Amino acid sequence: MNLKLHVWRQSGPNDAGAMKEYVAKNVNPHMSFLEMLDVVNEELQSKGEEAIAFDHDCREGICGMCSMVINGLPHGGHRGVTTCQLHMRHFNDGDEIWIEPWRAKAFPVIKDLVVDRSAFDRIIQKGGFVSVNTGGAPDANALPIPKKEADQAFEAAACIGCGACVAACKNGSAMLFVGAKASHLGHTPQGDVERFDRARAMTMQMDAEGFGTCSNLSQCEAVCPKTISVKVIAELNRDLLKAQFKGK
């Protein structure tokens, strides 16, 4: 099938960007979205034109680097998939596809479809870890953990930090990301010790990075490739409130 692409092109962070039109010819429906872009780039380079810059690594839905807004929705809007897991069979011959980078103040564009998501790294550095002395690694069954707590920790730990939640939120909020990271650790015996300090430190860094406040519209959950529930945001808000009352 043949497709008409409208792709955001921007040479650098301080340059003005614009949508440019390209034609993707003879696209195999079994291709992934990134493979389709690879073919388009090969054709551009064969003509001596600059390839479209986009981020990727594992191409297995694990790393979260393939950050693109496709037809107005992060990762294309199909539930539970990243851009690299989006296949061209979801499109029809002759479709027009609009491809843009994440749009958020805290995610400045580096080039074309690539954005700087290091703000997430700095949030993690403020509290997304366990610093208490836990000794050597215990056996998996050495610490009895209620199944409900273990399940909640595993569900939150599925977050890959792709930033789709930020791109979907009209306020550019990172509450789902921060909530997932805090909830993941807070539901473990080792991480529970610092849960209130963690919630406060990570939230303060989130605000300092320029992320907006939660819109309460749950777009973040709708586009999350790992279907993280907004309940982690409620947990984060609860821990922040408790931190104030405990004077931490």
pTM of the full predicted structure? 0.92
Dihedral of alpha carbons 215, 216, 217, 220, sign: positive
Band the pLDDT of 145: cuts 50, 70, 90: confident
Of 145-149, 181-185, 209-213, the range with the lowest mean pLDDT is: 145-149
Give 143-150's long-range contacts (Cβ < 8 A, gap of 24+): 143/189, 145/188, 145/189, 149/187, 149/188, 150/187
Residue 182 pLDDT level (bands cut at 50, 70, 90):
very high
Amino acid in the structure at residue 183: S
- Domain boundary, last residue among 60, 82, 111: 111
Residue 126 C-alpha from the chain's centroid: 19
- If asked whether residues 148 and 241 sit together in one domain, one would say yes
Could you tell me the residue range of the domain that residue 226 belongs to?
118-245
Q: Are residues 101 and 214 in the same domain?
A: no
Report how many domains make up the chain.
Answer: 2
Q: List all residues 6 or more positions away from 124 whose beta carbon is below 8 Å from its beta carbon.
A: 181, 202
For 42-48, what is the mean pLDDT?
Answer: 96
Task: Tell me the one-letter amino acid at 47.
Answer: K
How does pLDDT run across 51-96, given as a tens digit for each residue? 999 999 999 999 999 999 999 999 999 999 999 999 999 999 999 9
Residue 248 above 60 pLDDT? no
